[in-house]
Amino acid sequence: MATNLEFIKEVVLDASGGSDTKIVLQNIFSEKYENYFITMTKIGSNIDYYVWSRLIDASDNEITGSEYAYASEQLKSYGTEYEGKSTGTTNWNFMSWVGSGDEDSGGMSLYIHNPYDANSYTFATGEGVGYYGTSGSVGYKFIGVHKVEERITGITFNGASDYSEFIVKVYGIK
Amino acid sequence: MSKSNKYGYSGVDIPTQAAFANVGKFDPAEINELVQEDKWTQYGQLELIETQSSTSYTEMTFSDIKETTYNVHVLQFSNVKMPSGAGTHYPGFRFSQGGTFNTSNYDYAASWFSLTGSGNSSVRNSNHGNIAVGIGSSHSLNFSGYAYFYNLGDSIRYSYATGQIVLSETGGTVFNSYFSGASPYTSQVDGIKFMSTNTPTMTSGTFSLYGIRYS
């Protein structure tokens, strides 16, 4: 739990602002902080889907190689829970949920650890929740690691083929 | 401000000020003015709204949650104790809308693992009396944890929660539970209540509600 948060950056897509296929946060990590906190709210999507993520390297390229590992438990208020996990894969998956209805938009809280340290893996822990149609809430508890020692400067969030709305805020943990 | 020399500038080209984008040289009065207008850069974005603590209560209510200021709230709770002999405890959160706390139709799921069990177990309900943290126990309980709340001030979205607890109960069993849930109503939430559906008298507990500034 953070004892102090320092606002770094926001990326906002207003409902009237068109659509984006992904959320890109470039140059948000620096030598100033070792740990970061990211909130994601008011997510609007054209489909029901789970949020997945990739990191951005020091050359501003999205890392698409099989360098990620993750585990996530899906907490559904209906049906049975689901465990998603993989290693040597191309993204962090099952991080949160985006719903296609306005009211289905929940939120996500994500911690990123040691991204800017070129001699460390980058780690993530997080949780998120949304709503699936008339079925019920869909929550996630997530851990992830990027298993290459390199400098990470940013992150992308994917999942919807069209994001119609979102608010993403990045904080450094003092 | 009536000064012709503002933020260290004179003439007509006075920079527009905004938090995290302040430009110029500022005297104390200008800083105070910008703070009041929420245009002055201030760090420390985890803002305490209220702390409540009690040794005897049936529920803990926050009625001034500043829902229009924050998109994300954080609640830290510690040393919450519930006695045995009051039936099965289902502690969790209720939201009020228009000053009235909803008593049903909350939806949640939780998963836990313990010192004594193997693997994890889960529980869920789509029409519950609160967004439960995952405990269903008639033992005496002592637990701590946190919860995030999302979109409480949003009138077109449901209100959501995620969080985690660690708990010790009579007999020495220790387990954790992580949970998520929703209140499927779109009106603004103007209050948060921590309670158990059996409303036992709790014998201790400290609750601190924070807002995440600019969230």
Hey, are the CB atoms on A5 and B46 less than 8 Å from each other? yes
Amino acid B75: pLDDT? 97
- CATH assignment at residue A162: 2.60.120
B6 and B62, same domain (yes or no): no
Domain span including residue B181: 46-212
ipTM: 0.91
d(CA A32, CA A35): 9
| Residue B52, pLDDT above cutoff 70 | yes
- Radius of gyration of chain B from Cα atoms? 22
**Candidates B46, B109, B214; nearest CB to A137:** B109
Amino acid A160: pLDDT? 63
Amino acid B113: pLDDT? 87
Higher confidence at residue A94 or residue A102? A94
Q: B138: pLDDT confidence band, cut at 50, 70 and 90?
A: confident
A-B contacts (CB, under 8 Å): 144
Q: pLDDT tens-digit profile of B175-194? A: 899 999 999 999 999 999 99
B132 and B206, same domain (yes or no): yes
d(CA A156, CA A106): 18
Chain A partners within 8 Å of B151 (Cβ): 41-42, 105-107
Nearest to B141 by CA among B93, B73, B192, B77: B77
A85, A137, A138, A165: which to substitute to probe chain B, counting the most B Cβ within 10 Å? A137
| Residue B135, pLDDT above cutoff 60 | yes
User: What letter does residue B145 receive in the DSSP assignment?
Assistant: E
Q: pLDDT tens-digit profile of A15-49? A: 666 667 788 999 999 999 999 999 999 887 878 88
Mean pLDDT within B209-213 = 93
Tokens 């709230």 map to which residue?
Answer: B73
Amino acid A18: pLDDT? 64
B23 and B88, same domain (yes or no): no
Q: How far is B36 from chain A (nearest CA, A)?
A: 18
Mean pLDDT within B89-107 = 95
Amino acid B179: pLDDT? 97
Domain span including residue A143: 5-173
Query: B112-116, B152-156, B190-194: lowest mean pLDDT where?
Result: B112-116
Q: DSSP string covering A48-90, please?
A: -EEEEEEEEETTS-B--SS-EEEEEEEEESSS--EEEEEEEES
User: In chain B, how many domains are there?
Assistant: 2
B114 and B156, same domain (yes or no): yes
Mean pLDDT within B33-40 = 86
**Candidates A104, A107, A135; nearest CB to B150:** A107
Mean pLDDT within A45-72 = 94
| Residue B89, pLDDT above cutoff 50 | yes
User: In chain A, how many domains are there?
Assistant: 1
Higher confidence at residue B214 or residue B80? B80
B77 and B128, same domain (yes or no): yes
Amino acid A161: pLDDT? 65
Q: pLDDT tens-digit profile of A1-19? A: 445 889 999 888 876 666 6
CB B151 within 8 A of CB B160: yes
B129 and B58, same domain (yes or no): yes
CB A83 within 8 A of CB B122: no
Q: Secondary structure of B35-93 in the HEC alphabet?
A: HHCCCCCCCCCEEEEEEEECCCECEEEECCCCCCCCCEEEEEEEEEEECCCCCCECEEE
B162 and B93, same domain (yes or no): yes
Amino acid B66: pLDDT? 96
| Residue B2, pLDDT above cutoff 60 | no
Residue B55 forms contact with A (CB below 8 Å): no
| Residue B8, pLDDT above cutoff 90 | no
Mean pLDDT within B80-93 = 89
Nearest to B184 by CA among B160, B163, B162: B160
Amino acid A4: pLDDT? 82
Query: Where does residue A170 rank: exposed (0-12), middle (13-18), buried (19+ CB within 10 A)?
Result: buried
B132 and B100, same domain (yes or no): yes
Q: How many CB atoms lie within 10 A of CB A161?
A: 12
Amino acid B1: pLDDT? 46
B35 and B130, same domain (yes or no): no
